[in-house]
Structure 1
Amino acid sequence: MTSSLPAIDTTMPLGPDPQAVLLDMDGTLVDTEGFWWDAEVEVFRALGHDLADEHREIVVGGPMTRSAGYLIEVTGVDIGLDEMRDLLNAAFLRRLERGVPLMPGARRLLTELAAHGLPTALVSASHRTVIDRMLVSLGREHFTLTVAGDELSRTKPHPDPYLTAAARLGADPARCVAVEDTATGVASAEAAGCRVIAVPSVAPIPAAAGRVVVGSLEEVDLAFLRSVAAGPAVRDPSHPEAAVRPV
């Protein structure tokens, strides 16, 4: 599958390495978006509610609190948010025991980034317990640092996760490339001022200024990242705090 516009002009000289590469986890590096939905369906069915497929695109890529809160609201199930979050995490972790499939091209990309010593962060809305389990399959050595959704007061689609990762790496967000698979994650990275490569998983993501859409990580290598890093960054005016890096 070829990349969506804006296309990279490979006849032009490639720029320097991005200061850092910031990678989403679920649906981007590991093929787990279906795991999350299956866990949600299982938990709500046990509580007497069948989830309609129309809800899947709404909750995909979002933080646990938002997804769980939304599903509680639409089903009317009588359960607290904290209890629901624990049930969903437990159901998801049970699925991970069967093995975590990596997305096509993920292992090769991580190996290439590590070989070139490029600072790399895992930036996820998932909780720390889930990330630590995933790192067994992804390889903890491939990441300079990791940022979990339950370690921040605001997670995706707010820019905080990407601003935090860039700040901890000592990098300018505008000189970082983020790789995401959902509209929620793309919004977070773009609000932080990062250049973005979108690899849609469950729902389509349109191409836009400062955003490149590809079919899979098999299309992404260091040369591609350099080309994207040389393009214009995107700042979302609806998030003015994105222009300020946290200290």
Structure 2
Amino acid sequence: MTTISTPSGSLDRADGGGLQAVLLDMDGTLVDTEDFWWRAEATLFAELGHPLDEADRAHVVGGPMTRVIDYLVERTGVELSQAELTVLINQRFVDLLADGVPLMPGAERLLNTLDAHGIPAALVSASHRHIIDLVLRSLGAEHFAFTVAGDEVARTKPHPDPYLLAAARLGAEPARCVVVEDAPTGVRAAEAAGCPVIAVPSVARIEPGPGRLVLSSLELVDLDLLRSLVTVRV
């Protein structure tokens, strides 16, 4: 997807209260795909003779795929390479996406709100490019200035690189970009980048902390709340 470069001055809106952009995770945050990933992983490993349980699910939520596979190999001892498992899990996940993917409650309203007020949004995911492009058919590519995929950065989440890259592409300051995440891995990435965070946990528990607001649903996120998280930090 084409990226844009926006001078930082154009993001300094008088009505923005310091908010320059919103950076959003995808899986489990905007779209209800975490269950799809889990089904792909759990059914594959069951067929390989290694049933997984809910404790494993908490470990694999939020990606990236390399970390997930490292954990599953260590946990099960399965004798397949990381490359082989990546292909098998991704293909099973793609098959599950064939009929589209449901949006999380409040996701469509949030994206429409950002559109209506001219607040730039970027999608920042640990998923690979071909997965993001599939999901965008349901989510709507028109809502985002650009997307950042996990296979397009040298270090993906939990490293700060994807969020730093997104802020830089927008010409924005990380401290003035609110990140919306669902998993501890993504929260760590956003906080390491210096961004205020709204966490809406999907599977793994996330505790409140400095610069981090934990909510039960995206339906609780509105523009006033997004702006307030930046104004208290600037």
- The alignment's TM-score, normalised by the length of structure 1, stands at 0.86
The AA in structure 2 aligned to 1:145 is F
* Consecutive unaligned residues in structure 1, runs of 5 or more: 1-13, 234-247
Cα distance in structure 2, aligned partners of 1:186 and 1:126: 16
Tell me the equivalent position of 2:114.
Answer: 113
Residue in structure 1 matched with residue 4 of structure 2 by the alignment: none
Aligned-partner residue type, residue 68 of structure 2: S
How far, CA to CA, are the matches of 1:223 and 1:127 in structure 2?
32
- Write the distance in 1 (CA, Å) between the matches of 2:95 and 2:232: 42
How far is 1:98 from its partner? Answer: 2.6
1:57 matched to which residue of 2? Answer: 58
**Structural mapping, 1:29-44, within 5 Å:** 29-44=30-45
Deviations 1:93-129 (A, max 9, x none): 1111132010000001001101111110000000101
Residues 123 and 147, structure 1, Cα contact 8 Å, conserved in 2: yes
Q: Distance in 1 between matches of 2:109 and 2:206?
A: 24
Partner of residue 219, structure 1: 220
Letter aligned with residue 188 of structure 2: A
* Runs ≥4 residues deviating over 6 A: none
Paired residues, what number? 220
Counterpart CA distance in 2 for 1:210 and 1:203 is: 19
The correspondence of residues 67-216 of structure 1 with structure 2, limited to 5 A, is 67-216=68-217
Post-superposition Cα deviations, 1:141-190, rounded to whole Å, max 9, x if no partner, equal 00001000011111000000100111111111011100000111100000
Confirm or deny: 8 A CA contact 2:100 2:135 kept in the other structure.
no
Quote the RMSD (CA, aligned, Å): 1.3
State whether residues 15 and 227 of structure 1, in contact with CA within 8 Å, keep that contact through their aligned partners in structure 2. no
Matched-pair identity in %: 64
Q: 8 Å contact 1:37–1:56 — kept in the other structure? A: yes
Displacement of 1:46 after TM fit?
2.0
Counterpart of 2:219 in 1: which secondary structure?
helix
Contact 1:15–1:229 under 8 Å retained in 2: no
After TM superposition, the structure 1 = structure 2 runs for residues 4-19 of structure 1, keeping only pairs within 5 Å, are 16-19=17-20
Asked if 1 retains the 8 angstrom alpha-carbon contact of 2:29 and 2:200, the reply is: yes
In structure 1, distance between residues paired with 2:213 and 2:232: 10
Normalising by structure 2, we get a TM-score of 0.91
Q: For residues 77 and 117 of structure 1, what CA distance do their matches in structure 2 show?
A: 49
Corresponding residue of 2:10: none
